Amino acid sequence: MMENIFSTTTEQITNPTYMSAAIAIVSSLILGLFISFIYMYSDKKLKSSVNFAFTLVILPALVCIVIMLVGSNVARAFSMAGAFALVRFRSVPGDSKDIASVFFAMSVGLATGLGYILFAVMFTVIIGIVYFILRRIGYGTAGVNQKVLKVTLPENLNYQGLLDDLFDKFTTSSVVDRVRTTNMGSLFEITYIIKLKKDADEKKLIDEIRCRNGNLNIVLCSDDSQKGVL
């Protein structure tokens, strides 16, 4: 059985002592700091968000406090849910890695809030180490150079097949992801998902596209940077 720092009686689980509550909160902050450290230093490209890293430190402690406040009181749980329903999240959605980090931090807060400190430490260390190793070795990204290409075209230019010869030259695959009109319908914005060849010159690709779209806007960026935006 997993050890619980709170008493096994229903009354004391619902109303933990100040000492046990303090241990749970401090443990949450320490484990949150560990999760935040893993998040910041696991990516070789160092694209981590400072605000998100800060959030990962605080989130487990907040979840821990909520769990201890709610306890087994159903009415209190519904009141707490109503209070949190007033919160509006206005930040740009993150990628799947960020979502996984949030669930990771919340799971730690849930475990410490219920008093399972040793269990929280155990799974935080195990999952954290696995997460760090997979990110550092680039698991799932080997040999993939996927990009998002957005090309603006005048409305009188047929975009179908316009860039096929360039894609054959510079990419291994290309797919039209989205087509939309801009500037009161006078322009088309075509979004492609492409995989560049290993020795492809991005500047030459952009220069050749510029010759065909009348030097209108062209955007070439990593696939991850556009998740939740496109």
Instruction: Give the tens place of pLDDT for each residue, 100-131.
Output: 888 899 899 888 988 889 999 999 999 999 98
Report yes or no on 45 lying in a domain: yes
Residue pLDDT, tens place only, 160-209: 888 999 999 999 888 888 899 988 888 999 999 998 888 888 899 999 99
Report yes or no on 84 lying in a domain: yes
Both tokens of 67, joined, read 């769990």
First-last CA distance in the chain: 48
Residues 151 and 112 in one domain: no
Residue pLDDT, tens place only, 14-71: 456 788 888 999 999 999 999 999 888 876 565 667 888 898 999 999 888 888 878 7
Q: How many domains does the chain have?
A: 2
Residues 25 and 120 in one domain: yes
pLDDT interval class at 5 (50, 70, 90): low
User: By residue range, what is the domain housing residue 109?
Assistant: 10-136
Give me the percent of the chain exceeding a pLDDT of 90.
30
Residues 38 and 150 in one domain: no
| Domain stops at, among 136, 161, 178 | 136
| Domain stops at, among 112, 136, 160 | 136
pLDDT interval class at 1 (50, 70, 90): very low
| Domain stops at, among 71, 103, 136 | 136
Close Cβ partners of 227 (under 8 Å, ≥ 6 residues apart):
93, 94, 95
Task: Please check whether residue 151 is in contact with residue 189, taking contact to mean a CB–CB distance below 8 angstroms.
Answer: yes
The predicted model scores a pTM of 0.62
Closest CA to 125 of 111, 143, 140: 111
pLDDT interval class at 13 (50, 70, 90): very low
Both tokens of 192, joined, read 């492609």
